[in-house]
A and B are shown apart, each in its own frame.
Chain A
Amino acid sequence: MALFGGARDISMFRGLNRELMGDIIVQECAVYKFKLEETNVNIYGEAAEEKYYEAPVLFNVLIDRQDQNYPDSDIGINFEWGISFKFLRDDLVDAEVVPQIGDIVWYENGYYEVDNIIANQQFVGKDPDYPNKDDRGINPLGNYDLQNFGYEVSIIAETIYVPADKVGISQERLITSIKDVRKR
């Protein structure tokens, strides 16, 4: 039986984290999950015509912003911005949202595509989902209640900036031709 990382410890950490993120720091972002059944792809694995998303879910997060970058690419001066969104895993569980690669995060009227997920922050180094019991429910080393110890604290989504018209959530490209600009 483990000594630390039990339910009381976890509850205290959960309360502290929620108070910090929800009442003191208060940084927010929304997560858009794809509707996989409704979003059709062509043979290239692209949903070029229409993308469908579940309704966005707003979370309190910790945000780690990199510096904006304007690289000189083959097609001209471009824009890049990488942001890491650190979610409290318990919030995600309550909202039944599993951030995955490719999901869209909305933050300050910009859209960010998740290109890396880090779920590696475990309190006392244990994940209660893996109590290592056999078919009879017995842990051979005698640790019979490992499912009550340990805590997956956070999920970190590393994202890259994507233009809003590619995401297709908001109407970003209001003018479709240079001729429209000249008429004005």
Chain B
Amino acid sequence: MSERGRIVVPKTQKQISKGMHTPYSKEVGNPNNAAYQITNRSNQVSFKGDSVKPFTVGLEDIDSTILYYFNNVIKPSVVQNGIRIEVPVVYADSERWNQIQKDGYFRDRKGRIMMPLITFKRTNIEKNRSITNKLDANFPNNYRIFEKSYSPKNIYDKFNILNNRRPTKDMYAVVVPDYITLNYDCIISTYYVEQMNNIIEAINYASDSYWGNPERFQFRARIDSVATNVELNKGQDRVVKSTFSIKMYGYIVPNILQKDLASIKKYHSKVKLVFNPEVVSDIGTAVPTIPDRTDIRHGDFTEFTDPPAPVYPSSRINTNRVAPTPPTNQ
């Protein structure tokens, strides 16, 4: 009777479909109804006061590996007018004012670019689906877990070690990255073929290795072919140009709102409290153990000797220095 006058709201197709599902696991419930993942408050752990930042790798990190490797590892150089000159490496097509005013050290007084010069720019990103993936961006399923060794809640403490106490640990979960293959177009420009040869040799040697700062990120780079061309056009200066492509195998873990909302970023290990009962067959024969000490000795301390325990201990850790004597059957 109470439902009289109630407007009937027909079920949506999604609700009908969900009603026909039989969940395999009662604990997890219907896997198609992923809303349970959102409302799990235990996964919403704050990073406030944490010295670890959420892990992210972006495209700029990958691009910067090329710049780092050219400038710090390959260090291409040519001999020009008897002087060894480091070859500048720049990202192509930067802002106008930057090219002319700020980044103009490789230009002459009139603004003409002085060779040699290496320019590169990213031209293509291709998804690499042959490696694992996170399955669903709405609710990522695959994570990589990192454990923080020690934290304010998990301080290194010998007392804990002696007593086999393991405080809760901080675990950081990072969504399995999106594996991508990036393509870069590079142009080397020099005045002379001889200079070009040196640069190509250096770059070819560095191919198929991991490029980048060892203290940050490194990605495998492949250079398959280098095309060299001497341009001698009427009304223009002679220029030797080589073009090649770098294929970089990278991955990205973006710092975006969707990932922050839907993925687990941090959690704590479960605390386990273990009680070991000690049982005696006759309470009258049990002698209470009252150790004659006020603090816990540990390390290489040799002067103090605990009296042997009258009762053979169970599996819990033995803090006595002298091995206890098992009761003899008389």
Contact = CB atoms under 8 A, between A and B. Distances in A.
Interface of A: 34, 36, 39, 41-47, 100-103, 113-115
Nearest to A36: B102
A41 B96 contact: no
B313 interface: no
A101 B102 contact: no
A114 B102 CA distance: 15
A101 B64 contact: no
A45 B111 contact: no
A47 B91 CA distance: 14
A41 B101 CA distance: 12
Contact of A43 (B64, B95, B97, B102): B64
A113 B95 CA distance: 11
B34 to A, nearest CB: 27
A103 B101 CA distance: 9
B60 A45 contact: no
Given A43-B60, A44-B91, A34 B102 contact: yes
Contacts of A115: 96
A142 B33 CA distance: 95
10 contacts: A41-B94, A44-B60, A44-B63, A45-B90, A46-B95, A47-B98, A101-B111, A102-B97, A102-B101, A103-B97
Interface residues of B, number: 18
Contacts of B98: 41, 45-47, 102
Given A36-B101, A43-B67, A102 B94 contact: no
Nearest to A33: B101
Interface string B81-110: 000000000110111111111110000000
A47 B95 contact: yes
A179 B100 CA distance: 40
B101 A45 contact: no
Given A47-B95, A102-B96, A115-B96, A42 B102 contact: no
Q: Which 7 A-B pairs have the closest CB atoms?
A: A45-B94, A102-B97, A102-B96, A101-B100, A45-B98, A44-B91, A36-B102
Contacts, number: 55
Nearest to B90: A45
B63 A34 contact: no
Contact of B100 (A42, A44, A46, A100): A100
Given A45-B94, A46-B94, A113-B96, A39 B60 contact: no
Contacts of B67: 43
A165 to B, nearest CB: 15
A67 B3 CA distance: 72
Nearest to B64: A43
Contacts of B96: 101-102, 113-115
A39 B91 CA distance: 18
A36 B97 CA distance: 9
A44 B91 CA distance: 5
B250 to A, nearest CB: 15
Contacts of A42: 60
B91 A45 contact: yes
A101 B99 CA distance: 9
Contacts of A43: 60, 63-64, 67, 91
Contacts of B103: 41, 45
Given A34-B102, A36-B102, A102-B101, A45 B63 contact: no
B68 to A, nearest CB: 9
A101 B97 contact: yes
Contacts of B100: 100-102
B114 to A, nearest CB: 17
A41 B99 CA distance: 11
A102 B103 CA distance: 12
A47 B98 CA distance: 9
Contacts of A101: 96-97, 99-101, 111
Given A41-B95, A41-B102, 13 more contacts: A34-B102, A36-B102, A41-B103, A43-B67, A44-B94, A46-B94, A100-B100, A100-B101, A101-B97, A101-B101, A101-B111, A102-B95, A114-B96
